Structure 1
Amino acid sequence: MRTTTSADGTSIAFDQVGEGPPVVIVGGAFSVSSDGDALARALVDRGFSAVTVDRRGRGSSGDKRDSAPEDEADDLAAVVEAVGGGAIVLGHSSGAVLALLAASRGAAIGGLFLSEPPFRFGLDDPDPLLAERLQQLVDAGRNDDAVVTFQLEGVELPPEMVESIRRSDVFANLLPLAQSTVYDAKLTAQVSTPTPEMLAVSQPVTILRGEQTFPMLITAADRLASEMDAAELVIVPESVMHRPDPDATARVIQERV
């Protein structure tokens, strides 16, 4: 992997494959760069260069205590600059929120594809102290409780699903990402409602969602599209229950770049 240095000195790791115009893939909660590999391959097959990123506090990237959403936005801006500037950015879930925030802060992004961004628009927001409570759990070495708390309160997964995950082999892979739950909670709390600057970004914006996904995400995608004058809403039938289909997503990008 390659690294670049963010504005606060944090090292951010990313991988780049293929030739052609770069598309930076920014994942959501609990994701690391390798989770974008299938989409990266689909993009390479369509003539793009694909860039997968470890957000701060994940994988091979560094971290700093008390990181803020603006720091993560700077991280993305640094990656975009490292691959030549003007890159397309595909953000999924909280990664879509982050991508739009980075664009609103002047990152040199050429175009935005926002996949099921979890904007709540101030409705039914989680406990405003969630990020603080998650940090306390991580600081106490209780990564397992931080992961579960975020799943229950931040993502609002059903308790039986959370318990099933906790008993599975996947759970051990989530524990090193516990600190990142603090950053996701901070990000989605700070911009539960997109700022005027986020709604007025100059880049072309395509908002993607599946036909079958969580109702909150349908509401969020549709409302965001209605509040951004030039944004296009694209429903991707192949993407099911908050899992973007790699081939279909790559096709949507290719058709609009």
Structure 2
Amino acid sequence: MDKTLSRDGTSIAYRRRGDGPTVLLVGGALSTAADGAALAALLVPRFTVVTYDRRGRGVSGDGGPYTVRREIEDLAAVVAATGERVSVFGMLSGGALALEAQAAGLPVDLLAVYEPPYTPGTTGLLYKSRCTARLHRLLADGDRGGAVELYLSRTGVPEDTITRMRRAPLWSGLEAVAHTLAYDDALLGDGSVPAARFASVTARTLVVTGGFSTAQAHATTLALAAAIPRARHRTLTGQTRELAPHVIAPVLAEFFDRPVHARQAS
């Protein structure tokens, strides 16, 4: 992987493959650049695809203390390293990061996000507050496994599946990046959709949800689409939070493969 330096000197690793307009993939919680490989492979025939290890993951550095601003600067450093404007797809909390970065001025013409996991509403905000407090207690106590389990249970993974995962080789890799769950948690603030801030998003934006996703995911993505000036909403039939690469790839290809003059006019 190539590396670039973020503003605070943290080394951020990224991989660039393919030829054509550049699409940057931003992963969600616990993910690394490797997790975007399947989607990248489907997009490479038409695009240059960039994947990267977010701060504290894979072979990227982890200069501290963490702030959302520093993650925005990491993303900006990867964009600058490509040497051109990019289109961006953010998955889950990676979508929240992409939106925050574009609202802060990241030069992006086309932006797609899949189910940024905000939890608006009185019940959702209380649930987020309680989970945040528990996550920080677990991490402060050094219980990385407990932090991963909390995240998985929050995202709907059944208890028996988590038990099996704990015995699998992949568990040690999840524990290794468990501290970054606090980063994703910080990206989501108190859980409410930051409508006033996202009113500054200038990119033409596609907000996507799955047809089999939760009612909260549907409501949240609709709220996001309403808050972003140049956004439209799309539901993918049969999809859940675990989005299939072969389903989202043609949607992204159609959205990102717009002529330059059409982007400028829209």
TM-score if structure 2 supplies the norm length? 0.86
2:139 maps to what in 1?
138
SS in 1 for 2:8: coil
Contact 2:195 2:228 in 1 (8 A): no
Aligned partner letter, 1:51: V
Contact 1:19 1:48 in 2 (8 A): yes
Taking the aligned partners of 1:134 and 1:118, their CA distance within structure 2 comes to 16
Taking the aligned partners of 2:121 and 2:191, their CA distance within structure 1 comes to 9
Taking the aligned partners of 2:178 and 2:234, their CA distance within structure 1 comes to 32
Deviations 1:126-154 (A, max 9, x none): 3537556534543543211221233335x
Structure 1 range deviating more: 9-18 or 113-122 = 113-122
4+ long deviations beyond 4 Å = 129-133
Contact 2:14 2:78 in 1 (8 A): yes
Percent same amino acid among aligned pairs? 33
Deviations 1:69-117 (A, max 9, x none): 1211111111111112320000000000000000011112221101111
Taking the aligned partners of 1:17 and 1:146, their CA distance within structure 2 comes to 34
Contact 1:25 1:36 in 2 (8 A): yes
Aligned partner letter, 1:207: V
Q: Please provide the CA RMSD for this pair.
A: 2.2
Taking the aligned partners of 1:7 and 1:129, their CA distance within structure 2 comes to 33
After TM superposition, give the deviation of residue 40 of structure 1 in Å: 0.5
Deviations 1:129-188 (A, max 9, x none): 7556534543543211221233335x4644444334324343222111111111011111
1:96 maps to what in 2?
95
Q: Point out where structure 1 has 5 or more consecutive residues left out of the alignment.
A: none
Taking the aligned partners of 1:84 and 1:39, their CA distance within structure 2 comes to 22
Which runs of structure 2 are paired with 1:135-174 in the superposition (5 Å)? Answer: 135-153=136-154, 155=155, 157-174=157-174
> How many residue pairs were aligned?
254
Taking the aligned partners of 2:109 and 2:81, their CA distance within structure 1 comes to 14
Taking the aligned partners of 1:23 and 1:229, their CA distance within structure 2 comes to 22
Taking the aligned partners of 1:167 and 1:241, their CA distance within structure 2 comes to 25
Taking the aligned partners of 1:3 and 1:66, their CA distance within structure 2 comes to 21
1:82 maps to what in 2?
81
Within the alignment, does 1:36 sit opposite 2:36 as a pair? yes
Structure 1 range deviating more: 24-33 or 188-197 = 188-197
Deviations 1:174-230 (A, max 9, x none): 111111111011111256322413133111101112211233222211221233342
Taking the aligned partners of 1:111 and 1:179, their CA distance within structure 2 comes to 31
2:262 maps to what in 1?
none
SS in 2 for 1:101: helix
1:61 maps to what in 2?
60
Aligned partner letter, 2:129: P
Taking the aligned partners of 1:192 and 1:167, their CA distance within structure 2 comes to 35
SS in 2 for 1:175: helix
SS in 2 for 1:113: strand
Taking the aligned partners of 2:137 and 2:14, their CA distance within structure 1 comes to 29
Contact 2:15 2:52 in 1 (8 A): yes
SS in 2 for 1:51: strand
1:252 maps to what in 2?
251
Structure 1 range deviating more: 156-165 or 12-21 = 156-165
SS in 1 for 2:188: helix
SS in 2 for 1:189: coil
Taking the aligned partners of 1:140 and 1:228, their CA distance within structure 2 comes to 39
Structure 1 range deviating more: 131-140 or 16-25 = 131-140
Contact 2:128 2:190 in 1 (8 A): no
Contact 2:202 2:229 in 1 (8 A): no
SS in 2 for 1:128: helix
Taking the aligned partners of 2:156 and 2:253, their CA distance within structure 1 comes to 33
1:233 maps to what in 2?
233
Residues 87/191 of structure 1: CA separation in 2 closer, same or farther (3 Å cut): farther
Residues 214/168 of structure 1: CA separation in 2 closer, same or farther (3 Å cut): farther
Taking the aligned partners of 1:132 and 1:70, their CA distance within structure 2 comes to 22
2:263 maps to what in 1?
none
